[in-house]
């Protein structure tokens, strides 16, 4: 699955990068000097809450979604007053899921594998956004793009045996810990607003939904930034 998405990566990136240039060329045709003067940057830091669905990890899970804090830093470039490209780096705290699996055993003996899954996700994000309104203190916006997630998962496994053939005996055996890192591209959609506190300082909040076959990650975040 991962290699198939990596082969499709240029299909997402080329339109994202080429669309701003095309839009800028159209917007700058009547007044190229004004369009060049309007191009600018902004940068912001964010804190947020991250939820991810990792159902289907094997066996049965007590729940499929985990939650954890998320920190990120982003920079944006305005091609026009409304059209903007954003790049961002983010990292989550540790999220946790527990799964269990019943193994075959003889009568009066039960064996279960319990797995404690710990996740930490680092993300490089590239989003093309459209900011609504002009010369206003509050600007709603919509965006779409791609997230490249580096997902680190640590699995701690224990074998629990309950033997009731003669007298009840309960045994727990700890198995070796496993750690793996997977690179996963996901499409992302963003909706939020940017509200100015001063001429250059702003407050921003948004909701991000990332997906492959379906939405499997959601983040709500807010932050403070500066135009420059």
Q: What is the pLDDT of residues 72-96, one digit of tens each?
A: 999 999 999 999 999 999 999 999 9
Contact, 60 vs 99, CB < 8 A? yes
Pairing relation of β-strands 109-131 and 95-103?
antiparallel
Q: How many CB atoms lie within 10 A of CB 99?
A: 21
Q: How many CB atoms lie within 10 A of CB 146?
A: 21
Q: Is 10 helix (H, G, I), strand (E, B) or coil?
A: helix
Q: How far is CA 195 from CA 100, 139, 192, in A?
A: 47, 6, 10
Contact, 45 vs 73, CB < 8 A? yes
What pLDDT is attached to residue 104? 79
Q: What is the mean pLDDT of residues 11-34?
A: 42
Contact, 172 vs 114, CB < 8 A? no
Q: What is the mean pLDDT of residues 206-222?
A: 95
Please give the CATH topology (third level) of the domain spanning 2-95+120-148+179-227.
Porin (2.40.160)
Q: What is the C-alpha to C-alpha distance for residues 44 and 55, in angstroms, rounded to an integer?
A: 33
State yes or no: pLDDT of 141 exceeds 90. Answer: yes
Q: How many CB atoms lie within 10 A of CB 129?
A: 21
> Which residues neighbour 99 within 8 Å (Cβ) at sequence distance 6 or greater?
57, 58, 59, 60, 61, 62, 114, 115, 117
State yes or no: pLDDT of 189 exceeds 70. Answer: yes
pTM above 0.85, yes or no: no
Contact, 186 vs 149, CB < 8 A? yes
Q: What is the C-alpha to C-alpha distance for residues 162 and 176, in angstroms, rounded to an integer?
A: 21
Q: How many CB atoms lie within 10 A of CB 164?
A: 12
What pLDDT is attached to residue 67? 96
More confident site: 104 or 222: 222
State yes or no: pLDDT of 158 exceeds 50. Answer: yes
Band of residue 184 on the pLDDT scale cut at 50, 70, 90? very high
Distance of CA 65 to the CA centre of its chain: 13
């Amino acid at each position: 699955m991962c290699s198939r998405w990596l082969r499709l990566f240029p299909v997402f990136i080329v339109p994202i990068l080429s669309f701003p240039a095309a839009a800028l060329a159209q917007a700058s045709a009547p007044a190229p000097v004004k369009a060049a003067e309007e191009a600018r940057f902004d940068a912001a830091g964010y804190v947020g809450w991250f939820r991810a669905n990792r159902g289907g990890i094997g066996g049965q899970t007590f729940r499929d979604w985990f939650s954890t804090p998320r920190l990120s830093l982003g920079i944006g470039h305005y091609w026009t007053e409304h059209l903007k490209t954003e790049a961002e780096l983010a990292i989550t705290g540790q999220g946790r899921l527990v799964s269990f699996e019943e193994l075959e055993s003889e009568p009066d003996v039960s064996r279960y594998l319990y797995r404690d899954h710990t996740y930490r996700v680092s993300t490089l994000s590239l989003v093309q956004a459209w900011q609504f309104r002009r010369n206003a203190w509050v600007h709603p916006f919509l965006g779409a793009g791609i997230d490249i997630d580096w997902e680190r998962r640590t699995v701690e496994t224990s074998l629990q045996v309950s033997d009731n053939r003669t007298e009840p005996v309960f045994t727990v055996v700890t198995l070796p810990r496993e750690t793996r890192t997977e690179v996963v591209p996901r499409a992302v959609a963003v909706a939020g607003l940017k509200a100015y506190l001063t001429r250059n300082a702003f407050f921003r909040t948004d909701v991000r939904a990332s997906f492959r076959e379906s939405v499997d990650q959601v983040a709500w975040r807010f932050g403070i930034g500066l135009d420059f």
